[in-house]
Amino acid sequence: MKLQAITNDTLRILDAGGYDRDGHRVEIGAAVERACARTRAHSPAEVAATVQRVAATQGTSRGEVVVTAESTTACARRLVAEGARVACLNFASAKNPGGGFLGSARAQEEQVCRASALYPTLRTQRVYYDENRAGSDARYTDWAITSPDVPVFRDDAMKLLPSPFEASFVTMPA
C-alpha cells in the first residue's frame, strides 16, 4: 500500500474508532478519546520547571539510555511487551500537526502518525503550533506536547496489529 493510501486508511480507522483484523473488530475509539482528552501543551516555562524538578531528583532513581536499530514504534512495542511504561520523543514539525502526515512525507513523525492515534492528539493543541508560527526568526520555541497512552495499531510494515498497545509521546520541534 502506498503512503497516501496508508494515511487515508489511518484517518478512516481513527474516524471509525477501530478496524477489522482477522475477522475480529479491534476497538480503539475510547482509547483515542482518552489520549486526546489528556494531551497537553506545555509552555517553555513549564518545560524548564519540569527539567529543573527532574534534575533535582538526580541520583534518586535509575534511568537508562540504550541506542537500538529499530523504529520508534517497534522499540515502544518491544518495551511495552517487556512490561515497561514507554514515552517516545516525537521529532516534530513545529508548525503543522503530524508534519507531512497528510501528504506522503517519510520522516519519523509522519510514520508514527500513520501507525498510531498520535495525529488527533496533536490537533488538540493549537497553541503549540501557533506559538511556533509566531516566531520572528528561524528558531522554534521550547513548547512541548505530551500525549499520554496513545494507541499504536500498526507495525513497521504498516500492517494492522491484532491488538494495539499504548505508548506516550513527547512532541518537541525538531
Instruction: Look up the pTM and report it.
Output: 0.94
Contact 76, 88 (CB under 8 A): yes
CATH class of 3-55+69-173: alpha beta
Class of residue 127 by CB neighbours under 10 A (exposed 0-12, middle 13-18, buried 19+): middle
State how far the Cα of 2 lies from the Cα of 109, in Å rounded to an integer.
17
State how far the Cα of 64 lies from the Cα of 20, in Å rounded to an integer.
37
Helices then strands, each counted (H, E), the chain: 7, 6
Task: Give residue 137's pLDDT.
Answer: 76
Task: Give residue 110's pLDDT.
Answer: 97
pLDDT tens digits along 113-155: 999 999 999 999 999 999 999 977 778 999 999 999 999 999 9
Q: To the nearest whole number, what is the mean pLDDT of the chain?
A: 94
Task: Give residue 54's pLDDT.
Answer: 81
pLDDT tens digits along 31-54: 999 999 999 999 999 999 988 988
Task: Give residue 1's pLDDT.
Answer: 75
Contact 143, 25 (CB under 8 A): no
